[in-house]
């Protein structure tokens, strides 16, 4: 009987994992190191490495909760970046939420 109970639970877990990976979204947090014309580089808070993300016209950007442009983000700002699907082998920022340094 225990096997029948595990089966449906395992199926739900697998469906949830597939749904998350199908969206291709994850969030990264860190400190802004470089703001380029169409990219942003951060020091990843978790992994401690530098990550660069492409920023395009579809990227939603906010600073202190208000709509912003990439040029409004300052070196040293704390950011949370929702990563979209890779484009041409590069990570693309779907959303950037910035806050001033602490």
pTM: 0.74
**E strand or H helix at 66:** strand 66-67
**Confidence class for position 21, pLDDT limits 50, 70, 90:** very low
Mean pLDDT score, 1-14 = 43
Largest Cα–Cα separation, the chain: 61
Q: Is residue 89 scored above 90 in pLDDT?
A: no
Cα–Cα distance for residue pair 62/67, rounded to 1 Å: 4
Which domains occur in the chain, in start order?
26-99 (2.40.50.140)
**What own/partner pairs with CB < 8 Å and gap ≥ 24 does 20-23 have?**
none
């Amino acid at each position: 009987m225990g096997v029948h109970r595990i089966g449906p639970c395992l199926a739900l877990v697998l469906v949830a994992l597939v749904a998350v990976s199908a969206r291709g979204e994850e969030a990264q947090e860190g400190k802004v190191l470089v703001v380029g014309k169409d990219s942003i580089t951060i020091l990843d808070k978790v992994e401690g490495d530098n990550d660069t993300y492409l920023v395009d016209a579809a990227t939603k950007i906010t600073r202190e909760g208000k709509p912003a442009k990439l040029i409004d983000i300052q070196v040293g700002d704390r950011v949370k970046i929702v990563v979209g699907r890779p484009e041409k082998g590069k990570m693309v920022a779907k959303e950037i939420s910035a806050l001033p340094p602490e």
